[in-house]
Amino acid sequence: MIQTFITSFKLKNTYRVNSIIYSIKGFPIINKILPNSLYKNKALKIFGNIISILWEIVSTFLWKGLYVWLVLGSMTFAYNTNQVNTFLHIFVFSTLIGGILNTYLLNPTKDKYYAIILMNMNANTFALTNYFYSMLKLIIGLMPFTIIFGLLLKVPLLICISMPLFVAMIKIIVIGIFSIPDFKKNKVVKNENLPTKKVWILLAALAILGFGLPYLGIVINQIIYIVLFLISIILGIIALKEIIAFKDYKKIYKVLLTNENVYAVQNANSTQNIRANIAKNIEYDGEITSDKSGFAYFHELFVKRHSKLLTKSVKKQTMVIILIFIILFIVVFINPSMKEGLNSIPLTYLPYFVFIMYILNRGTTITQAMFMNCDHSMLTYRIYRTPKIILGVFKERLKTLITLNLLPSVAIELGLMILLYITGGTNNMLNYLILFVSINAMSIFFSVHYLVMYYLLQPYNINTEVKSSTYPVVQAITYFICYYMINIRMTTFVFGIATIIFSILYSLISLILVYKLAPKTFKIRI
């Protein structure tokens, strides 16, 4: 039994360490320096194992601490009810929710999939040893925090100690009283990561009872908690017997550990899934056609057949922006004292709009659609990669991207100009012009930026997997720079002119780079 546990623990460590090495090797320069033999480097493996064990210890406490602090601790103070009772009330209901959502034993995780399905380990021993280890980790990890936070709130010590046991018992009851008998009877086992409608309704009801009732002044008290705890112990013991006596974990895991279940979360975000979703967005009614020729024809058909995907959210964004400005205008008319404050938005908050324009820009989604539904196949044809075609299609795409993104930016700049005018205007009339040009410049900058990055760093391979680490790094840097702009306070006159000059220079330089490099860089990654 112990041997099985040790083997499964080693297995988990091995793929944790390998995953770390794999991610590191994804970076372009590091990739060249580090050899493939890295995976068998003993020192690195030992180092990886130490990190992995440290992570095991940290994770034992970290999430539980955050849970007690954020969910129980902070929410307790949100109500006007007795703090001890509220603490226990929220704890009981969130424990019930947690018991349904994460049982550990029937959570279709990769470590179970590798060990039981791929490596054919003894399922009963694996299940029970790992389950008891998880329960032990849960109790040890949770107890310090229930004691510390509980005592701070003046919850009696014995109750504080009982709380982690209650959590473990609820998880055990869910398995032993519900899941295993259900499997015995119906041969079904539900993936707890993909709850059914009924389960969602039950979870919502528990959440309402847990977090809603205290608003009405209704909370459980210590006696109710103690009764619930005692019931959980009795039922828990019955359930535990069932769990230990059950000998068909192999069967249960064969049903549970399917590729769809194990990779459910991963699949939802996988490029294959995104590709399938984007493919669904192709619109065709036979009448959509084009009278252009060559790559202009090709691109126009792409745009027309993806018009919803390309324009839907841009239109929505524009509507929301118009609505926000209409509300602001109404506020100004109803309450003229707000004028002064609102006047500062167009005059000093322009840097903030860099972040807004970043959020609004559809560059990532559009280039993703371009790859998934078009370039993924076309780049396999050498003729499509000739400079003439690449740059021809690039030009058409740039025009489309700029036009699409200009729609919300025109709404913003007109809104800002009107807002500036009705809130008292400005001494420098140039500010109107600068607002108009700089917002457009930002929008064009982001359109150019995303398309140029796509052409220079094309990150996908033939299986639509992201194979470039540089691309996400550039995306992250873009995000942080734009986010940093929120903190800058500068007059529209200065920042606007700087933005316009920067956007023009950036666009020129990047377009030159695309013309020089894209015929070499724009290809499927191998």
* Site of interaction with other proteins (CB under 8 A): 35-37, 279, 282, 284, 286, 293-295, 297-298, 301-302, 305-306, 373-374, 376-378, 380-383, 385-386, 389, 462, 523-524, 526
Neighbours of 13 (CB within 10 A): 20
Q: What angle do CA 167, 173, 175 make, to 5 degrees?
A: 110
Tell me how far, at minimum, the Cβ of 166 lies from other proteins, in Å. 54
Instruction: Extract the tokens encoding 113.
Output: 């999939």
**Least distance from C-beta 446 to other proteins, angstroms?**
25
Spatial CA neighbour of 444 closest among 509, 490, 396, 506 = 506
**Least distance to other proteins from the beta carbon of 259, Å?**
20
- Residue 373 or residue 503: which is nearer to other proteins going by CB? 373
Give the Cβ contact number of residue 212 at 10 Å: 12
Question: Is the CB of 378 or the CB of 500 nearer to other proteins?
Answer: 378
Q: Which is nearer to other proteins, 303 or 435 (CB)?
A: 303
User: CB 22 → other proteins: shortest distance, Å?
Assistant: 15
d(CA 182, CA 50): 41
Q: Is 368 exposed, middle or buried (0-12, 13-18, 19+ CB in 10 A)?
A: buried
- Output 29 or 158, the one with its CB closest to other proteins: 29
Q: Which is nearer to other proteins, 12 or 306 (CB)?
A: 306
Smallest distance, other proteins to C-beta of residue 388, A: 8
Comparing CB distances to other proteins, the nearer of 354 and 374 is 374
User: 278: closest CA among 199, 166, 374, 382?
Assistant: 374
Q: How far is the CB of 171 from other proteins (least distance, A)?
A: 45
Counts of helices then strands in the chain (DSSP H, E): 25, 0
Residue among 214 and 459 whose Cβ is closer to other proteins: 459
Q: Count of residues for the chain? A: 526
8 Å CB contact between 427 and 488: no
CB of 17 to other proteins, least distance (A): 20
Minimum distance, C-beta of residue 389 to other proteins, in the bound complex (Å): 6
E-assigned strands of 330-420? none
Minimum CB distance to other proteins smaller for 241 or for 388: 388
Pairwise CA distance, residues 26 & 525, whole Å: 13
Instruction: Decide whether 367 or 409 has the Cβ nearer to other proteins.
Output: 367
Structure tokens at 444: 């064009």
**To the nearest whole angstrom, how small is the minimum distance from the Cβ of residue 300 to other proteins?**
11
Separation between Cα atoms, residue 436 and residue 418, nearest integer Å? 11
Say how far residue 152 (Cα) sits from the centre of its chain: 34
Tokens of residue 263, six digits: 């990779």
Q: How many CB atoms lie within 10 A of CB 305?
A: 18
CA angle at 173 for the pair 184 and 262, rounded to the nearest 5°: 65
